Structure 1
């Protein structure tokens, strides 16, 4: 049974970090480069970011539980555990904090597009915060990939 849980550990790392990179640095830029309608590109990208957020919550939860099960009380001395928790926290902040705030700003701007409204600066600021947080989470994800074996030894 141990090999199944270890395989799932590796799979969740790959799916989470691969998804972060594929959506944030491949799919979203292609959407904005390919579609003339930036609003539509933003809506589709937003749905993709929400999707990878849910994937991240599931993956981060499994990884956390796996590490706790593997290391018990010693898990708090393992850097890989804190890395997973940090990424999980960033995912939750994006999914339950920043994304809903940006969606509300879009609604508050109606009937205009948010970037054509008085809320443009606030939206741009939160978009910048989200982008920086996503970049940091992605870099931490790459670090997690490098450290994957540390969670297993």
Structure 2
């Protein structure tokens, strides 16, 4: 089970860094902004759902391995990453979508739904999850 946990940690962490540092910047340099944003949004959605699935699989595999694959620090890191994904994607996205819908309808956006602010919050949470991913790769046994 330890090998499965290590592979899942590497997969999740690698996907976070590859999409965040390579793929999305490349999209915005090669495509028109609206198309790049749509594609990036699809990638982030896939990464959010996939990340939560990987977190669950890691915790289940760790449990079957009697808690030896992750250890206490690894379990905490996986849980923190899952919370970060939940807040970053499922917490900020509805607010950003609401602000975007108001803009598309030609209405004023309340300050609490400002797209730029929430995009920044989401970006910080994504970065924190990616850094936790590096920690996870370092602590899995």
Q: CA deviation at 1:105?
A: 1.9
Runs of 4+ in 1 over 4 A off after TM superposition: none
Structure 1 residues without counterparts, runs of 5 or longer? none
The answer to whether residue 121 in structure 2 is matched with residue 129 in structure 1 is yes
Where in structure 2 are the equivalents of 1:4-153 lying within 5 Å? 5-35=1-31, 37-71=32-66, 78-111=72-105, 118-119=108-109, 122-149=114-141
Task: Give the RMSD, CA atoms, in angstroms.
Answer: 2.3
Structure 2 residues without counterparts, runs of 5 or longer? none
Structure 1: distance between partners of 2:42 and 2:94:
12
Q: TM-score, normalised by structure 1?
A: 0.79
Q: Deviations over 1:117-138 (max 9, x none)?
A: 7449710000000111111110
Aligned residues: 138
Contact kept? 2:73, 2:139, Cα under 8 Å: no
Structure 2: distance between partners of 1:101 and 1:55:
22
Q: TM-score, normalised by structure 2?
A: 0.86
